[in-house]
Amino acid sequence: MIEVFTAKKIITMNDAWPTGTAVAVRDGVILEVGTIETLQPWLSQHEHRFNDTFKDQIIMPGFIDPHLHPVMAAVLLPMQFITALEWKFPWETVPATTTPDGFKQKLQHYHESLPVGEPFFSWGYHKHWHGEIGRPMLDKIFGDRPTVIWQRSFHEVYLNTAMLNQLGIEEDKVRDRHQIDYNNGHFYENGLSYAIGKLNAIIMSPEWINHGLTRLKQLAHFGGHTTLGDMAVGLFDDLIKEWETGRAIMGGSDAPFRVLGVAHINRIRAEQGDHIKGVAFAKTLPELNTANYRFTNKIKMFTDGAFFSQLAMLQAPGYIDDHLGEWLMVPEDFEAAARVYWNEGFEIHVHCTGDLGLELALDTLEKLQWERPRFNHGFTIEHFGFSTPEQVQRIKTLGANVSANVYYLHELSAAYSNVGIGIERAHQMARVGACEQADILTAFHSDFPMAPAMPLHSAWVAITRENCDGDVVAPELCMSLDRALRAITIDAAAILGLQNETGSIRAGKKADFAVLDQDPYEVGAGGLRDITILATVFEGRVFPISALDNVQTNV
Partner 1 sequence: MFDLPISIVAGYLGSGKTTYINRRLNNSGGVRFGVLVNDFGSLNVDAELIEASDGVTVALENGCVCCSMEGGLEQAADQLRAIAQNIDWVLLEASGVADPTRLKDRVLSWPEFELKETLTLVDATRIKQLTQDKFIAGHIRKQLEEAENFIITKQDLMSSDQLPELQTWLQQQRVRPSFSPEARPPRFLAEKIEFDEPQSKQTLETWLNNLDESTLRLKGFVQLQDQPNKWHLVQWVDQQWTITPHTSSKPNQTGLVRISAAPRPHPSQINPKITPELAR
Judged by the rule CB under 8 A, the positions of this chain that interact with partner 1 are 69, 72, 172-174, 177-180, 189-191, 193-194, 196-197, 200, 232, 235-237, 264, 266-267, 269-271, 302, 305-306, 308-309, 311, 313, 318, 324, 326-333, 351, 356, 359-360, 363
Measured from the CB atom, the residue of 247 and 269 that comes closer to partner 1 is 269
Min dist. Cβ of residue 70 to partner 1 (A): 13
Min dist. Cβ of residue 447 to partner 1 (A): 9
Query: How far lies 57's CA from each of 20, 494, 518, 530, in Å?
Result: 12, 26, 7, 15
Min dist. Cβ of residue 74 to partner 1 (A): 13
Query: Residue 211 — φ and ψ, nearest 5°?
Result: -65, -45
Min dist. Cβ of residue 274 to partner 1 (A): 8
Instruction: Tell me the pairing of strands 380-383 and 401-404.
Output: parallel
Task: Write the DSSP assignment of 418-435 as a string of letters.
Answer: HTTS-HHHHHT-S-HHHH
Closest by CA position to 153, among listed 93, 208, 76, 211: 76
Min dist. Cβ of residue 354 to partner 1 (A): 11
Measured from the CB atom, the residue of 49 and 178 that comes closer to partner 1 is 178
Measured from the CB atom, the residue of 311 and 505 that comes closer to partner 1 is 311
Min dist. Cβ of residue 383 to partner 1 (A): 10
Please state, in angstroms and rounded to a whole number, the distance separating the CA atoms of residues 212 and 204. 10
Min dist. Cβ of residue 476 to partner 1 (A): 29
Measured from the CB atom, the residue of 285 and 313 that comes closer to partner 1 is 313
Please state, in angstroms and rounded to a whole number, the distance separating the CA atoms of residues 69 and 451. 11
Query: Residue 252 — φ and ψ, nearest 5°?
Result: -75, 175
Distance, CA of 410 to chain centre:
15
Measured from the CB atom, the residue of 179 and 518 that comes closer to partner 1 is 179
Please state, in angstroms and rounded to a whole number, the distance separating the CA atoms of residues 20 and 295. 33
Measured from the CB atom, the residue of 86 and 238 that comes closer to partner 1 is 238
Min dist. Cβ of residue 305 to partner 1 (A): 6
* Kind plus residue range of the DSSP H or E element containing 67: strand 63-68
* Kind plus residue range of the DSSP H or E element containing 72: helix 70-76
Min dist. Cβ of residue 203 to partner 1 (A): 12
Measured from the CB atom, the residue of 197 and 389 that comes closer to partner 1 is 197
Please state, in angstroms and rounded to a whole number, the distance separating the CA atoms of residues 79 and 147. 11
Please state, in angstroms and rounded to a whole number, the distance separating the CA atoms of residues 234 and 358. 23
Query: How far lies 257's CA from each of 8, 289, 364, 452, 499, in Å?
Result: 24, 15, 34, 18, 15
Measured from the CB atom, the residue of 304 and 512 that comes closer to partner 1 is 304
Cβ(265)–Cβ(278) below 8 Å: yes
Measured from the CB atom, the residue of 27 and 244 that comes closer to partner 1 is 244
| Gyration radius of the chain over CA positions | 24
Measured from the CB atom, the residue of 433 and 449 that comes closer to partner 1 is 449
Min dist. Cβ of residue 411 to partner 1 (A): 16
**φ/ψ bin of 383: left (φ > 0), alpha (ψ from -120 to 50), beta (otherwise):** left
Strand order in the sheet with 147-151: 80-81, 120-125, 147-151, 156-159, 186-188, 180-181
Min dist. Cβ of residue 357 to partner 1 (A): 9
Cα torsion at 111, 117, 118, 120 (round to 10°)? 50
Measured from the CB atom, the residue of 180 and 514 that comes closer to partner 1 is 180
* Kind plus residue range of the DSSP H or E element containing 75: helix 70-76
